[in-house]
C-alpha cells in the first residue's frame, strides 16, 4: 500500500533528497529552474508518495509559467526512488496530479522530458513553444486538459509574475486529503511469482 499526499514544508528535505538521488549533480543549473526561481509551487499539485514504512518513494512538483500570456502548468521534476522504478509509481503520480490539475481548472501542461515515456499520458511535442536555452526542442512536450487549449498558444516560456498564480483554482478545491493506493503492479508481480518469474531481489 502507498499513500499519496500533497507535499508539505516538512516533506521538503526528503523530496529534495530523492531528486538529488535521481538526477545528475547540478540539476538546479538547468534552464527550467530559472522559470521556478522565486516562484511559489502549485501546492495543490505537488504530491509525495510514501510506502508502508513512511519512506518517500516518489514525488512530483508543478510550477506556474506563461506562454503567449496564457497560464501554463510546468510539470516537473518527477522522480521515483531507484529501487522502485518501473513498478508504476511514476504513472500513478502522473495520472493523479493531472486529474487534480483538471479539477482545479488548469487547461494546459508543459514539460521537458522523454516523449516515449510521457506520450502514454497524452503528451506530444510542442513545435512552437520555446523553453529557455539550452533545451532540446524535441523534449518540449504539452498536454491539453481542455480540448484545444494549446491551439495558438506559442512563443517563449516565461516566468509567472502574478504571485498567487499557483493558488488559483476554479473547480473543486478540497484536494488536501491523502489517498491510499494499492501497488500498481501487484497483480503482475503475483502472476510472476506464481510462475517463478519474479524480479531479482
Ligand atoms: C521517469 C520516471 C519518473 C518513471 O517512473 P516509473 O515509476 O519508473 O515508471 P512507470 O513504472 O510508471 O512506467 C514504466 C514504463 O515507463 C518506461 N520508461 C521509464 N522511463 C522511461 C524513459 N525515460 N523513456 C521511455 N520510457 C521510459 C519503462 O520502460 C516502462 O515501460 P513499460 O510500461 O512498457 O514496461 C522514473 O523512472 C524516474 O524517476 N527516473 C529518474 C528521474 C527522471 O528521469 N525523471 C523524469 C524527468 S523529470
Mean pLDDT across the stretch 90-101? 97
Mean pLDDT across the stretch 63-92? 97
Q: Pull the grid cell for residue 191.
A: 502472476
* CB atoms near residue 8 (< 10 Å): 12
DSSP for 17-39 reads HHHHHHS-TTGGGSHHHHTTTT-
Q: Is the pTM of this model over 0.75?
A: yes
- List pocket residues of ligand 1, CB cut-off 6 Å: 22-23, 76-80, 85-91, 113-114, 116-117
Specify the 3-state DSSP secondary structure of 117: helix
**Is the backbone of residue 69 left (phi > 0), alpha (psi -120 to 50) or beta?**
left
**Domains defined along the chain, listed by start:** 2-194 (3.40.630.30)
Ligand 1: nearest atom to the Cα of 89: 7
Specify the 3-state DSSP secondary structure of 43: helix
Ligand 1: nearest atom to the Cα of 94: 12
Question: Mean pLDDT lowest for which of 85-94, 169-178, 190-199?
Answer: 190-199
130-178 confidence digits (pLDDT tens): 999 999 999 999 999 999 999 999 999 999 998 677 775 544 556 778 9
Ligand 1: nearest atom to the Cα of 113: 47
Mean pLDDT across the stretch 86-101? 97
The whole-number pLDDT of residue 185 equals 78
Most informative mutation of 80, 118, 136, 138 for ligand 1 (most atoms within 8 A of CB): 80
Mean pLDDT across the stretch 60-78? 97
Q: In the block, which residue shows the cell 518501473?
A: 86
Q: Return the residue whose CA atom lies nearest to atom 18 of ligand 1.
A: 117
- Please choose, from the candidates 177, 193, 195, the residue with its C-alpha nearest in 3D space to the C-alpha of residue 185: 193
Higher-pLDDT residue of 195, 163: 163
Name the helix (H) or strand (E) containing 100. helix 89-103
Mean pLDDT across the stretch 110-133? 97
Amino acid at each position: 500500500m502507498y499513500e499519496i499526499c500533497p507535499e508539505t514544508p516538512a516533506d521538503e528535505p526528503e523530496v529534495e533528497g530523492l531528486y538529488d538521488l535521481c538526477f545528475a549533480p547540478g540539476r538546479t543549473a538547468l534552464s527550467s529552474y530559472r522559470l521556478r526561481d522565486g516562484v511559489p509551487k502549485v501546492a495543490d499539485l505537488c504530491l509525495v508518495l510514501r510506502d508502508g514504512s513512511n519512506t518517500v518513494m516518489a514525488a512530483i512538483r508543478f510550477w506556474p509559467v506563461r506562454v503567449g500570456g496564457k497560464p501554463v502548468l510546468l510539470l516537473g521534476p518527477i522522480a521515483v526512488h531507484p529501487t522502485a522504478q518501473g513498478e508504476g509509481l511514476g504513472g500513478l503520480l502522473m495520472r493523479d496530479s493531472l486529474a487534480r490539475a483538471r479539477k482545479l481548472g488548469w487547461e494546459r501542461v508543459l514539460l521537458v522530458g522523454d516523449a516515449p515515456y510521457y506520450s502514454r499520458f497524452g503528451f506530444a511535442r510542442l513545435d512552437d513553444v520555446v523553453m529557455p536555452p539550452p533545451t532540446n526542442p524535441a523534449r518540449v512536450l504539452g498536454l491539453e486538459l481542455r480540448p484545444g487549449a494549446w491551439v495558438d498558444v506559442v512563443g517563449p516560456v516565461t516566468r509567472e509574475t502574478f504571485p498567487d498564480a499557483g493558488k488559483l483554482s476554479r473547480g473543486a478545491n478540497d484536494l488536501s486529503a491523502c489517498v491510499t493506493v494499492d501497488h500498481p503492479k501487484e497483480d503482475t508481480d503475483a502472476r510472476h511469482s506464481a510462475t517463478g518469474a519474479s524480479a531479482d531481489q
